[in-house]
Structure 1
């Protein structure tokens, strides 16, 4: 059954990730603190050891996600570098060819 907050909107279920309530679910106003500030815990408080373990695991997950994001951006940069290097050499070769064409055309004009 739907639960409504004091401002008349349907309350939403969320999970707290603070150190003192890690993993504990609650129902609150969809507007949060900027709404009517309606709040009700769903779960009973957890023992200290459970809170410490859950919070520690959450922090490890967060650190691993950040590391994965950094590795992904490094991989993208590593893949992009050869492309940039190839385009650089393409332009160098094109310029050399352009200069050769101009020199050859000028030498043909002087021969005539």
Structure 2
């Protein structure tokens, strides 16, 4: 067990700096304390890892951002689709009503012609 400078049990956190990307370290569990960094949990990474991991993290963040934007666009399109379906139902109902009036007017016309 590793203890911080204030005597508490240290916690393990992950560094995301460009110098130590993904490297875990011991830290004080108290937010804002003076003994934040205590020591490294992991061994130092190879230079290739240090060079590659930041680029992978940027790519991951870009993909997550793009995913969020696409999800928002999808929600907007689904809302628009619902509105268009409702409008379509109203137009179809109006069309059926007009067809009934047309049939009724033709029946009246035929009856008028047959009456004379």
**Residues in 2 aligned to 1:10 and 1:29: alpha-carbon distance in whole angstroms:** 7
* Corresponding residue number in structure 1 for 2:15: 16
Listed one character per residue, the Cα deviations across residues 12-39 of structure 1 (whole Å, up to 9, x for unaligned) are: 111111111111110101234x113242
Listed one character per residue, the Cα deviations across residues 24-67 of structure 1 (whole Å, up to 9, x for unaligned) are: 110101234x1132421112222322201112111111111111
* Corresponding residue number in structure 2 for 1:31: 30
SS of match in other structure, 1:83 = helix
TM-score norm. by structure 2 comes to: 0.63
* Corresponding residue number in structure 2 for 1:69: 68
Aligned length: 90
Bigger CA radius of gyration: 2
- Unmatched 5+ stretches in structure 2: 92-116
**Residues in 1 aligned to 2:55 and 2:30: alpha-carbon distance in whole angstroms:** 28
Does residue 41 in structure 1 map to residue 40 in structure 2? yes
Assess if the C-alpha contact under 8 Å between 1:15 and 1:25 holds in 2: yes
TM-score norm. by structure 1 comes to: 0.65
Two-structure CA RMSD over aligned residues (Å): 2.4
Assess if the C-alpha contact under 8 Å between 1:5 and 1:36 holds in 2: no
Q: Shift in Å at residue 77 of structure 1?
A: 1.1
